[in-house]
Each structure stands twice: as structure tokens, then as C-alpha cells.
Chain A
Amino acid sequence: AQSVTQPDIHITVSEGASLELRCNYSYGATPYLFWYVQSPGQGLQLLLKYFSGDTLVQGIKGFEAEFKRSQSSFNLRKPSVHWSDAAEYFCAVGGGYGGSQGNLIFGKGTKLSVKP
């Protein structure tokens, strides 16, 4: 069955510290992988996406993620966290765009708190 696991429900980091949010997926075909961020009362904003090619992808707001097929993982990283990064982060997998393959399967999310 297709699924996404985000093992950390809540993470707290100090401002300026590095961050890594974990994501593992189960998908029968070649996956398209995404990270979204959701601030309170807001919709989801796309941080970055992986389709193919270079396994290290750069996104907005200084985020990057690395696709590791052998580990079925797509972890999100940021070298120095800012207080404004406090939000909930969702990893998602899909089979691509269009038709039923356009549907995204989301993890349960990781809530990030940033302490001064």
C-alpha cells in the first residue's frame, strides 16, 4: 500500500541550529516526492519537489531535501533555522501529474517549534 511516514510528531530546535525532518515512503512505482509547509490557519505551500535527476533538491526559504531510493527516504534539511520557520511540515508522495496519478498521499506531519 502507498504510504508516507513522518516519524517525528513534534520537534523543537533553537534558532540558528540545523534541522532535519524525516520522511519515509512506500510507493509501488517511481515516486514523485514533495515537502509542503503549513502555518496556522493557512493552506499548504510547496517547499520543494523531486521528480528525477539530481537526488539533492533545493527549495524555497533555504530548504533542501535528499532522495535516497535505497532507504525510501526524502528527508528535509535546513542549515540554520529562523523563528519564522515554526510551522507544520508535510511530506507527500505521488505518481506524477494528471489523472489519478496526480493525487498526493500525505504523511501526518511534523510540527516544528523554534526556541530563541
Chain B
Amino acid sequence: EAGVAQSPRYKIIEKRQSVAFWCNPISGHATLYWYQQILGQGPKLLIQFQNNGVVDDSQLPKDRFSAERLKGVDSTLKIQPAKLEDSAVYLCASSLVRREQFFGPGTRLTVL
């Protein structure tokens, strides 16, 4: 069974630029999560989707972050414009409803 796929794996941008990350969950997983992991900290949830609907985006900085999950499968997370403090690893996870989460390898973002 293929795992959660993410791309790109690494991205370097300058502040005020925009960037997008892509996630392909495990086939059949209805729930998809985006986490932000800042160096030295544990992952923090940004947004949770159930199929293509948002369940929880209370910790998403909506002035600069946006996310969508078209057709309830793939998802993209966008940052526009990026700030220095957005440097982090962005992790995507997916799960069946009411089951454990499986994580992708993450995208490491560096904002200069």
C-alpha cells in the first residue's frame, strides 16, 4: 500500500514570496491533516479536512495561509506572502474516519 506522498520535499524562497505544497493521501482515506513542525517543536495542526470539507482550521493563519482539497483526494497548502517565521517542515497526514493517522515525509520550507 502506497503511503502519503508530498511534494516538493524541499523549498527555499525569499520572504514575501508565495509557495504551495501538495499532498496525496493514502487511497480511501477520507480525513486529511496539515501540520506545521517548527524546528525543536512537535507538529501543530493547521487544518483538518473530512472528504473535501474543512473540519477544523482554527490554528490556520488565514491572512496568509490557505488550503483546499478538491474532490476529497489531493490537497494543496499555500502560503502567500511568506514570512521568516514560516520556516518549518509541513507534514501531511491522512486517516480513515476514526482511525490512526499516517504521515507523509514532509516538505521542508526555508524562508530567507
Which residue from A42, A43, A96, A109 sits with its C-beta under 8 Å from B42? A109
In this complex, how many residues of chain A approach chain B with their Cβ under 8 Å: the count is 24
Set of chain A residues within 8 Å of B33, measured between Cβ atoms? 102-103
Contacts of A109 in B (CB 8 A): 40-42
| Majority SS at the chain A contact face | mixed
Is B42 a contact of A97 with CB atoms below 8 Å?
Answer: no
Total contacts A to B, CB within 8 angstroms? 63
Q: How far is the CB of B102 from chain A (nearest CB, A)?
A: 8
- The answer to the question of A98 belonging to the interface, with a C-beta cut-off of 8 Å to chain B, is yes
Find A100's partner among B44, B56, B101, B102 (CB 8 Å cutoff).
B56
B91 at the interface (CB under 8 A from A): yes
Q: Does B71 interact with chain A (Cβ within 8 Å)?
A: no
Known: A98-B31, A100-B56, A102-B31. A46 touches B44 (CB 8 A): no
Interchain residue pairs with CB less than 8 A apart (17): A4-B42, A34-B100, A42-B106, A43-B103, A43-B104, A43-B105, A43-B106, A97-B98, A98-B97, A99-B50, A100-B48, A100-B55, A102-B33, A102-B95, A103-B33, A106-B43, A109-B41
